[in-house]
Chains A and B, each alone.
Chain A
């Protein structure tokens, strides 16, 4: 690859420079505009021609976000749903990944289930699921427990994919030593494999948390009035309130951006694991 770079023409170099500038602009400019909107008075946001720099600064939108009860409870609900769903998805995903790493039969069953489930469009599942959750009495609940369970189900493939490589990398000799000492398979899994995979478990927890934190479709259909952050931001965006919407959007970005910047390299492995199958 570097040999290819050495022979490149100046035209290609210029194209590269343009591409880099484009990437930086595509990433930075929108974020800047959003940040600007979150700290300028709403009247100024609707000015024409639009202001590229803030003329007046205000923190009132962030104050609003924390003062309005609906917004505050949405933040708490989103946190709760994401935490519960990440815990369930990682626990179940660890079971699935372990079985898949140790048996080819489990691998086949797990792979076809995940493939089948991934082919289902959100809307096909969400409408009838709402009816089922309603009969169970957890549709649109204030705690968001119904949504948390749904998010756990859609996050299991992500968790299993993240953990599979970690379990597959643990040599069988380690487990065999524990067999000889008389440990049961469950105990081997709990006391040997899980601790050895703790790095991957942390990654899986974080990824599943973000998946739920960002999820819009199911949240919109399952939590119609007790909203989580993404549907709430949708309503704020579509029905006015630029200032609070921008402030909310800024707050929503914090966990996701931190994680992706921190997890960069390992995230790449997870995202690409599907393509090299």
Chain B
């Protein structure tokens, strides 16, 4: 084959490859947009529709005390859950990556709560925390009074929801942080030891700063998920026990038969997640640019 022919074929194949890539990226993206984004946009239109274009659906929300409780809970529950997840997840990640403590059994046990389907965890949690459940049974053995763990409208119920949510998700945080820990060069630890740094100082001045990008990344991903909390609340306390925006919207749609008001509540949640998510992403991007230590 002559060179010109090869060049010609190369260009033709290159154009065909480009066409293929375009099709390959457009088809899956259109599929996702059509099934997820378009319905959401349709919902946006519905949320402004109340016998014609109006803000009545949103006004309804602002006059409903349940909405304000759902909004407050939708911030408090994710924050509480994230704090537990990250403290516990970091402790587990540090323990499991230390060579002396490496154990396949513990690692599998630590991942297990995430392997269990969410709804199974919640079913279990209901039997554990119900008034005559296992936790109160255990309290009775130790001579303490049983507590109303799931009683509606109580801060104890909110605590229970946070605890159960964190139980299911801590393994994911742990795995993300473990991956971050493994990228820290061992030389840094050796240098810290030569400089006479103790365990706490090493953690404070080597591990934590080096791990920060992984922590921020995990925080954004988990934070977005935590804001969308739905099933934990629904199964443990019912939509009105510790209302969050998702369950509030669900009960407006399912029990109250107010689909348009439900969409307005769902839109406020979507707005909240989008603002916090994009804000977090922008912050993370600045973070990685400012980062002077190569990861």
Q: Which residues of A are at the interface with B, using a C-beta cutoff of 8 A?
A: 1-9, 12, 16, 19-20, 23-24, 26-28, 30-31, 33-34, 37, 46, 48-50, 52, 92-93, 95-96, 98-100, 102-103, 105-106, 109-110, 113-129, 131-132, 149-150, 152-154, 156, 160, 179, 182, 184-186, 189, 213-214, 216-217, 221, 230, 233-234, 237-238, 242, 245-246, 249, 252-253, 256-257, 259-261, 264, 267-269, 271-272, 274-277
Contact = CB atoms under 8 A, between A and B. Distances in A.
Given A120-B270, A129-B36, 8 more contacts: A2-B98, A109-B26, A117-B37, A121-B270, A132-B42, A259-B115, A260-B114, A268-B178
Interface string B112-130: 1111111111111111100
Interface string B95-113: 1011111010111111111
Contact of B115 (A3, A6, A257): A257
Contacts of A27: 109-110, 112-113
B109, B132, B141 pick with most chain A CB within 10 angstroms:
B109
A24 B109 contact: yes
Contacts of B221: 274-275
Contacts of B38: 132
B227 A5 contact: no
Contacts, number: 310
A24 B25 contact: no
Contacts of B97: 1
Given A49-B140, A99-B25, A264 B228 contact: no
B235 A121 contact: no
B36 A153 contact: yes
A3 B28 CA distance: 48
Nearest to B125: A30
B179 A3 contact: no
Nearest to B38: A132
Interface of B: 9-10, 13, 16-29, 31-33, 35-40, 42-43, 46, 91-92, 95, 97-101, 103, 105-128, 132-134, 137, 140-141, 167, 172, 175-176, 178-181, 183-184, 186, 189-190, 192-193, 198-199, 202, 213-214, 217-218, 221, 224, 227-228, 230-231, 234-235, 238, 245-246, 249-250, 253, 259, 262-263, 266-267, 269-270, 273-274, 277-278, 281
A116 B231 contact: no
A2 B36 contact: no
Contacts of A114: 32
B81 to A, nearest CB: 15
Nearest to A232: B119
A8 B199 contact: yes
14 contacts: A1-B97, A3-B189, A19-B91, A26-B113, A33-B124, A33-B127, A119-B278, A124-B269, A127-B266, A132-B39, A184-B16, A216-B231, A260-B111, A260-B114
Contact of A96 (B10, B16, B28): B28
B40 A128 contact: yes
A11 to B, nearest CB: 10
A115 B281 contact: yes
A126 to B, nearest CB: 8
Contacts of A269: 179
A185 B32 contact: no
Given A7-B199, A121-B228, A271 B172 contact: yes
The 4 A-B pairs with the shortest beta carbon distances in the complex, nearest first, are A260-B115, A272-B179, A275-B217, A99-B24
Contacts of A3: 186, 189-190, 193
Contacts of B36: 117, 120, 125, 129, 153-154
A64 B19 CA distance: 55
A48 B131 CA distance: 10
A115 B103 CA distance: 35
Given A4-B202, A33-B124, A123 B119 contact: no
B95 A230 contact: no
A102 B22 CA distance: 11
B227 A121 contact: yes
Contacts of A128: 39-40, 42-43, 46, 263
Contact of B123 (A105, A124, A126, A233): A233
A44 to B, nearest CB: 13
A20 B27 CA distance: 47
A271 B39 CA distance: 28
Contacts of A125: 36, 39-40, 43
Contacts of A257: 112, 115-116
B33 A117 contact: yes
Contacts of A9: 199
B31 A20 contact: no
A34 B120 contact: yes
A119 B271 CA distance: 9
B16 A272 contact: no
A71 to B, nearest CB: 15
B95 A20 contact: yes
Contacts of A221: 250
B67 to A, nearest CB: 14
